[in-house]
Structure 1
Amino acid sequence: MGNVFKIKELRYVPRWLVFFIDISIVSFSVLTIYLLLKKLYVKIYFIEYLNEKILTIIGVNILFMLLFKTYAGIIRYSTFFDFFKILWSSGSTFIVLLGLNFVSDMALGRPLYLYPALFLFFFISTLLMFFFRMLTKQIFSMVMDLNYKNVPSKIRVAVVGVGGESVSLANAIIHNPGHAYQLEGFFSARSDSKKAMLLGYKIYNKKELLKSHSLANQFDAVLIRGMMEKEEMEEWMTLALDRGLKVLKAPCLSKINEDRIVGGISPFQIEDLLDRSPIKIESEEVRSRHYNKSILVTGGAGSIGSEIVRQVAQLGSSLIVVVDQAESPLHELKLELLERFPDQNFKFVLADISNHYRLEKLFEDYHFSIVYHAAAYKHVPLIEDNPHEAVFVNIGGTRNLALLSRQYNVSRFVMVSTDKAVNPTNVMGASKRAAELFVQSLQNSPDNTTKFITTRFGNVLGSNGSVIPHFRKQIEKGGPVTITHPDIIRYFMTIPEACELVLQAGTMGNGGEIYVFDMGKPIKILDLAKRMIKLSGYTPDVDIKIDFIGLRPGEKLYEELLTDNSTTIPTHHEKIMISRDPLMEFEDIELLCKQIMRSAIKKESLQVVQILKIIVPEFISNNSEFEILDKIQEREVYQ
C-alpha cells in the first residue's frame, strides 16, 4: 500500500490545493444554504442579484483567507492554531457581511442577506474547513501506520511529563512513525492524573512505576525533555535505570521544528547530568577587552585552548593567533574555524612554546593585547616518567611567554592552571605550581605594565584523555571499566563553562591574582562508572566488570583548589574567588628556574624533581619513585 500512495515521500499537501479546497468548501456552504432556503420556501431579498450576492460572499471570504493565510499550515500537523486562523477568517467575513446588511437595511429598507443564512454560512463553512484538515491529518496517520506497522524493533517510549513541551514531543513521535520510536504513554509525578488520558494514551504515575515491576515491561525507554531541571532529570533517570529501562533525551523544542525533533532524540549521556546551571557572564566587559585587539592563544588546538579560541572569535578581535605543536589537531581546528568564522582574522602557528626565539618573532610581529596561555603537558603518569619534559613546557614555556609578555607590554597575561597544582603529589602538578609562582612573581617586577592572571580549576568534561571518554571506550569494547581506587573523587566542569570563566577572570583584578572557580560538588568516580554502564544498557559487574587497578604514580584520591596556607576572597562574580597563596620573589624563582632547566637538559630526573621540591615545598610525592627524595629530606630534618 505504501508503494501506491507513496505517502512517506509526501511532505505536505500543496498550498494551492488547500486554498482551492477551502474556496470549494465556501462555495458549497453558500449553495447549500440557498438550496435549503429554497426547499423551505423562504423569501430571499434581491433574488434578481443572487449570483452577485453569492460571488460577494465568496470574494470577501477569499480576501480574508489570503490575509490570515489559512492555507499556509501543513495539514498533517494541524492544531487548534489552524482552527483559530479559520475562525478569524470566517469571523471577519461574517462581520463584513453584517456590515453590508446594515448599510443595505439603512439605504434600501431591507437587508442584503437573511441574518439566519449568514449565521448558518459562518457555522457550516468554518466547521467543514476544520473538518477537512482533521480528516486529512487522520488519513495521513492511518496510512503511515499501515506503512510502518511491520517495522521491526521499534523502541516503546513513555514521555516524562504532561505539560505543553511533553505533549509537543509526543505529537512529534506520533506524526513521524518512520522513526524508531513508538509512543506508549506518559509518566507523571502528579497524583491527580491517574485515570486521565492524553492524546489517547494513558498517564502513569511515578508511584505506579516504583511499585510495579510488570509496568516497566510495557516500555523500553523513558524520554526526558530537553529543558527539565537537573534534580528532576536525575530522579527520573535513576528510577528508569533501576527498572531496567533505557533513558533517552529529546532536544530543546524551541530550537528546532517538529519534523526534526524525533531525529534529535538521543541516548542520555552522563554529561547531561553533570552539566550545571548556565554561567552569567558580563559579556560587555569581556567584549570590550577583546574588541579590535590582537589575541594570542597557546595550546590552541587542545580542549581548553580551542574553546577559548571559539569564544574569543565571537568578540570582534582584530586578530587571533593560535599556537600549538600538534600538527593534525591544529589543521583540523583551522578548517573548522575558517568555516564557522569566515569574517574573523586568524593566524595558525605550528610552534613549541619552549622555543623562545620562535615565540619572540610572534610578539614582534603581532603586538598582542591579551595572551591566553593554555599550552601544557597534563597527563600525570607520563609526566611522572618524563619530568624533564614538564620542565621544558610547563615551566620553561610559561617562563618564555610571561617574560615576552612583560617585554612587549602585553595588557593581560592569563594562565590556565589546574587543581593538581595545589599541594601537589606528582611532577605535573608541581610543575604547574612552579609556573604559577613564576607568573605571579612578575607582577611586581621593575617596569612591568602587564597584568598577570592565573585561573585554576579541576577536570573538564570531554577533554582529551579525560575519564568519561575513556570509560565510554571501555564500555563499547565490553569492559572491563578500570578505576584506580574505589574511593577516588574528582571535580568536574564543562569545557564551555570553564572557558567562559577564564575569559571573565581575565577582565578582573589588578594582576597577580590566582582565581579559583566554583567546581560544585565532587563526584565519586565509581558512581560515575556505574551510571555510565547503566546508561549504556548494561548491569555493572554483571555485563560490564569494574576492575580496581590501584592509584597511578603521583595520583591523589581527591583534588584540592586551595593550598593549606591560602585563604579565599570573594569577587563580584559568584563562581569566581581569589586564592591568596604564598608568593616568591622574582629573583629567587628565576634562579631556581634556570637551575632546573639545566638539570632538565641533562635529563637528570632526580635532580629535576629535587629542585622542583625546593620551588614547591608542599610537593610530597605519592606512589612514585621520587618518594625517596621526601624520605631523604625527612631524615635530614631529624638529624
Structure 2
Amino acid sequence: MSFRKNLKKKIYSGDNFMNISDVRYLPRWVILAIDLFFISCAIFFSCYLIERLSFNSTRVFNNRLYVYALIMGISVFFMYIFRTYSGIIRHSTFIDLFKLFLATFCTTVAVGFISFTYYFLTGERMIYMSVPFLAIFFATSFMLLFLLRLFVKEFFHLVREVRRSTLRKRILVVGIDEQSVAVARAILDNPSLPYYVAGFITQRHDYHSAKLLGRPILNRDKLERNSKDDLLIDGVLLIKEMMSKEEMNSWVNLFLEKDLQVLKAPSVQKLRTSDMEGSIRSLQIEDLLNRKPIRIENDELRTRHFDKAVLITGGAGSIGSEIVRQVAALEPKLIVVLDQAETPLYEIEIEMRSKFPLIQFKFVLADISNRHRIEPLFQKYNFSMVYHAAAYKHVPLIEENPHEAILVNILGTKNLATLACQYKANHFVMVSTDKAVKPTNVMGASKRAAELFVQALQNTPANETKFITTRFGNVLGSNGSVIPHFKKQIEAGGPITITHPDIVRYFMTIPEACDLVLQAGTMGHGGEIFVFDMGEPVKILDLATRMIKLSGYEPHIDIKIIYTGLRPGEKLYEELLSDDATTLPTHHEKILISKDPDMLFDEIESLTNQIIRAALRREKVEVVQLLKSIVPEFKSNNSIYEVLDK
C-alpha cells in the first residue's frame, strides 16, 4: 500500500524520478507471487532436465496440469506455515533463509509422500523418476528463492553505498591495523554518520592490490602523486592514540598540502557506538603539539597527599584548577582553593563538589598580597602541602602596571612562603615560568625575584619546609594563551595577528604541566628549580598556518595573517635555563634540576621590602629599577624601561 501511494504521489506531483531508497518494502502478496513464479520455474526446469536425462519422450507428469497445481498448492501451504514471504527481502537474515529451507524441504517431502501413496494405491506413477525429480526440484527451488533474496539484499546495499558515497564526505582511514579496520567497520555500520569510507591509506607498499572491507588500500606515494579530486576523496581519518607525534605530523603535513579535511577518532576501546558522531572530530592544533605525558610512577605522591590538608593558590586558573583536580584524586583530608577571581572560583567549586562529593573543600576568595587575610588559613588548617599557582602572567599588561606584578608575584609569594615556613608546612611548591630566565619583561623578572626569595628562605636556620620551584613554558589552552586567541580570530573570519614572523614558543599540555608540579613536590629535597624538557620550540607563524588549514581555510587567501610587531617586554624566544646555570639529572631523563645563582636571605629580604614599598607608592620607574637590581640579567626589550639599562 505504501509503495502504491508513494508511486501515485510521484506520478501526479510531476516528479518522474523515483529514488530507489524511497521504496520501503513490497506487499506480502507480491513477494509470495514472485516466490511462486520461481517455484514454477523450478518445476519446469526439473521436468526438462529429467526428460533430457531419460533419453525418451516420456513425460515426467502423467497429468501435467494437475501435478503442477498440486506442487504449487503444497508450496503455498508451507510458505504460509513458515511465513517465508513476511520478511523484508533486503533485510533477510539467516533465519529467513532457514525458513525457506524448511518450506522447500517440507514441500518436497510432501510431494514425494503423495506421489508414492498414489503409486501404492493405483499402481500408476504420478511422477516419472520421482526421486531424481524431487532432488532436482528441491535444489533448484531453494537456490532460486535464495538467490532472489541475496540479489535484492546486495542490490539495495549497493544502492545505499552509492547514495552514501555521493551525499557524504568520502574519507580514507589511515592504517590497516585492527584498530583502523574496526573504526572503519563502525562507520560503515552506522548510516547516520556523514562519512563514507572510500578506502585505507598506509605507508606500506605490499598491499597495492589488496582490499579491506571491500575498499581499496592506497599507499602514501599514490596520494603524493595525485590530488584529492583524482582520488575522489574529501578527507582522512586517523586514530591519534596509534601514532607517534612524528608520524602524525608527517601524515598531517601531507594531508594539509592536499587540502584534505583531517579527522580524528578515538581508539576502539574508547569509541562509543551511541555517540560516534560526537567521537569523530576535526583534528585540532593541540593534537599536533601534544606529547605523550611524562608520568612518574611514584607511590609517595599518594602518601604525601592522602588524608592531608592542602592549600592551592590560584586554584581557579588554568594551572591551579587542574592541580585541584589531580590532588582531589589523591584523597586528601581537605583542599583549600584560594583565588581572587570570583566567577571562576565559583565554577571550580561547582565542578569539584559534583565530581568529588566525599572530599572536603574550602573555597576562599582572597588576595594573596593581604597577609592578614591569608594567615588565619595557615593557623586553622595546618597545611601539609602548599601549591602556589597564583600570579599575574600577561606580559603587556604587567609591563604597563609593574607595581601590580610586585604586589602579587613578589609580595604574594613572600606572604605564602613565610607563612608556610612559620607554620611548618611540609612542602611548598611554586609554579614559575620560562620567562623568568634572562627576563626581558617585568612579569618574568618578578617571577625570577619570587624564585630567589623562595630559594633563599630554604636556607634559613629555622626553616623546616621544603621549598621547590617548577619552571615550564606555555600551556596549551590556558586562559589568554595564543591558541584560543587564534581560534577566535579564525571563527571571526580573520585576520590572525602575530607579533613577529620569527617568534617561537615552547608548549605543553595543562595535565602534563600539573603532573610535573605534583611530581616535583615528591622529588625535591628543598631549594631546587625543576625544569622540564619541553621538546622542540614551535614557530608561531607555522602554528597559525596549520590552524587555518585544519579549519578548512587557505592561509593568506581566506584568512589573512598580519604582523603587529613585538609587544612591550616580548622576546622572540624563551629559555628554560640561564647561561650561567648548570643542570643536575633526576631519575627521569626528561626532568632536570637547574642550579641557578641564588642570594642570601637577608639580601633578598631587604631588596623585596624596598620594591614592595615602591610598588605601594605606585612608583613605576623606581619599581622596575629595583627589580633590575634584584635580577641583574633583566634587560628590557621593546619597552619604555629600556632607558634604565643604559
Q: How far apart are residue 154 of structure 1 and its match?
A: 2.1
Letter in 2 for 1:176: N
1:361: Cα distance to partner? 1.0
Alpha-carbon distance in 2 for matches of 1:505, 1:446: 23
Aligned to 2:481: 466
Contact 1:323–1:348 (CA under 8 A) maintained in structure 2:
yes
Look up the SS of the partner of 1:273 in the other structure: helix
- Give the partner amino acid of 2:210: A
Judge which range, 332-341 or 493-502, deviates more. 332-341
1:161 shift after superposition: 1.4
> Alpha-carbon deviation of 1:38?
12
| Alpha-carbon distance in 2 for matches of 1:345, 1:499 | 21
Structure 1 residues 397, 193: CA separation in 2 closer, same or farther (over 3 Å shift)?
Answer: same
Compared with structure 1, are the counterparts of its residues 511 and 152 closer, same or farther at alpha carbon in structure 2 (3 Å cutoff)?
same
Partner in structure 2 of residue 247 of structure 1: 262
In the TM superposition, what are the counterparts of 1:600-639 in structure 2 within 5 Å? 600-631=615-646
**Matches for 1:264-275 after TM superposition, within 5 Å:** 264-275=279-290
Q: Per the alignment, do residues 144 and 382 of structure 1 end up closer, same or farther by CA in structure 2, a change over 3 Å counting?
A: farther
Q: Which deviations, in whole Å up to 9, do the C-alpha atoms of 1:379-419 show, x marking residues without a partner?
A: 00000000000000000000000000001100000000000
Match of residue 371 from structure 2: 356
1:205 alignment partner in structure 2: 219
Cα displacement string for residues 65-106 of structure 1 (whole angstroms, at most 9, x for unaligned residues) = xxxxxxxxxxxxxxxxxxxxxxxxxxxxxxxxxxxxxxxxxx
The 1:432/1:140 distance shift into structure 2, 3 A limit, reads farther
- Assess, with a 3 A threshold, how the Cα gap between structure 1 residues 194 and 152 changes in structure 2: closer, same or farther: closer
Q: Which residue of 1 aligns with 2:326?
A: 311
AA of the residue aligned to 2:267? C
1:530 to 545, 552, 571: 545
Whether the 8 Å contact between 1:148 and 1:177 is mirrored in structure 2 is: no
Please tell me the residue identity of whatever aligns with 1:189. Q
- Report the CA distance between 1:27 and its aligned residue: 12
Deviation at 1:165, TM superposition (A): 1.2
SS in 2 for 1:415: strand
**1:236 Cα deviation (Å)?**
1.5
* Post-superposition CA distance 1:574-615 (Å, at most 9, x none): 221111011111111111111111111110000000110111
Match of residue 402, structure 2, among 377, 382, 387? 387
Report how far residue 330 of structure 1 moved.
0.8
Distance 1:191 1:295 in 2: 56
Matches of 2:155 and 2:388, distance apart in 1: 57
Question: Is the CA contact (8 Å cut-off) linking 1:425 and 1:554 kept in structure 2?
Answer: yes
Are 2:587 and 1:561 aligned?
Answer: no
Match of 2:468 among 449, 453, 458: 453
In 2: Cα distance, 1:383 partner to 1:191 partner: 56
The partner residue of 1:219 within 230, 233, 238 is 233
**CA displacement at 1:35 relative to structure 2:** 8.0
Structure-1 residue corresponding to 2:205 = 191
Tell me: CA distance 1:185–1:290, structure 2 relative to 1, closer, same or farther (3 Å). Answer: same
Are the aligned partners of 2:165 and 2:196 in contact in 1 as well (CA < 8 Å)? no
Match of residue 589 from structure 1 = 604
| Corresponding position: 1:475 with 2:457 | no
Using a 3 Å threshold, how does the CA distance of structure 1 residues 317 and 175 change in structure 2: closer, same or farther? same
State the alpha-carbon separation in 2 of the partners of residues 398 and 144 from structure 1. 69
Matched residue SS, 2:514:
helix
Q: 1:26 to 1:409 in 2, by over 3 A?
A: farther
Return the letter of the residue paired with 1:462: G
1:221-246: CA deviation from partner (whole Å, max 9, x where unpaired): 11111322222211221111111111
Question: Is the Cα–Cα contact under 8 Å of residues 295 and 515 in structure 2 kept in the other structure?
Answer: no
Partner of residue 576 from structure 1, selected from 591, 594, 597: 591
SS of alignment partner, residue 640 of structure 2: coil
Match of 2:56? none
Give the match for residue 451 of structure 2. 436
| Inter-partner Cα distance in structure 2 for 1:326 and 1:340 | 21
Aligned to 2:527: 512
Structure 2: distance between partners of 1:36 and 1:454: 89
Deviation at 1:186, TM superposition (A): 1.6
Change (3 A) 1:624 1:161: same
- In 2, the alpha carbon distance for the partners of 1:416 and 1:348 equals 20
- Structure 2 letter corresponding to 1:515: F
Q: How far did residue 219 of structure 1 move?
A: 0.8
Match of 2:432 in 1: 417
Q: Is the 8 A contact 2:170 2:234 kept in 1?
A: yes
Deviation at 1:149, TM superposition (A): 3.8
Q: Is contact 2:179-2:267 (8 Å) kept?
A: no
Aligned match of 2:194 in 180, 200, 213? 180
Residue number in structure 1 paired with 2:131: none
Between the aligned partners of 1:36 and 1:455, the Cα distance in structure 2 is 86
Q: Which moved more, 1:563-572 or 1:154-163?
A: 154-163
Q: Does 1:495 align with 2:510?
A: yes
Percent of residue pairs identical: 59
Deviations 1:35-68 (A, max 9, x none): 879969xxxxxxxxxxxxxxxxxxxxxxxxxxxx
> Residue 310 of structure 1 aligns to a residue in which SS?
helix
Q: How many Å separate the matches in 2 of 1:617 and 1:167?
A: 60
> Is the 2:502–2:541 contact (alpha carbons within 8 Å) kept by the matching residues of 1?
yes
Deviation at 1:364, TM superposition (A): 1.1
**How far does residue 630 in structure 1 lie from its aligned partner after superposition?**
0.7
**Counterpart AA for 2:385:** I
CA distance in 2, matches of 1:359, 1:367: 13
Q: Secondary structure at the match of 1:289?
A: helix
Cα distance change on mapping 1:193 and 1:279 into 2, 3 Å:
same
CA distance in 2, matches of 1:630, 1:363: 41
Please show how residues 337-348 of structure 1 align to structure 2 within 5 Å: 337-348=352-363
Distance between the aligned counterparts of 1:34 and 1:281, measured in 2?
73
Amino acid paired to 2:626? I
Deviations 1:347-369 (A, max 9, x none): 11111111101111111111100
Say which SS state the counterpart of residue 178 (structure 1) adopts. Answer: coil
Q: 1:396 is matched by which residue type in structure 2?
A: L
1:154 alignment counterpart: 168
Q: Which residue pairs with 1:378 in the alignment?
A: 393
> Could you tell which deviates more after superposition, 334-343 or 314-323?
334-343
TM-score by length of 1: 0.78
CA distance 1:455–1:336, change in 2 (3 Å):
same
Which residue is equivalent to 2:273?
Answer: 258
Task: Measure how far apart 1:342 and its partner are.
Answer: 1.7
Kindly tell me: are residues 140 and 312 of structure 1, through their superposed partners in 2, closer, same or farther at Cα, counting changes over 3 Å? farther
8 Å Cα contact 2:402-2:442 kept in structure 1: yes
**How far did residue 34 of structure 1 move?**
13
Structure 1 residues 145 and 513, CA gap change in structure 2 (3 angstroms): farther
Counterpart-to-counterpart distance in 2, 1:141 and 1:507? 65
1:87-236 aligned within 5 A: 142=156, 149=163, 154-213=168-227, 215-216=229-230, 218-227=232-241, 228-236=243-251
TM-score by length of 2: 0.77
Match of 1:335 among 350, 355, 361: 350
Q: Residue type of the partner of 1:375?
A: A
Q: Contact (CA 8 Å) 1:305, 1:374: kept in 2 or not?
A: yes
Residue 3 to residue 589, structure 1, CA distance change in 2 (3 Å): same
8 Å contact kept, 1:247–1:535: yes
| 8 Å Cα contact 2:396/2:567 also seen in 1 | yes
Structure-2 residue corresponding to 1:282: 297
CA distance in 2, matches of 1:223, 1:320: 42
Aligned pair count? 531
Residues 617, 156 of structure 1: CA spacing in aligned structure 2 closer, same or farther, 3 A cutoff? same
* Bigger Rg, which one: 2
Q: Measure, in 2, the Cα distance between the counterparts of 1:169 and 1:341.
A: 34
Contact 1:173 1:262 in 2 (8 A): no
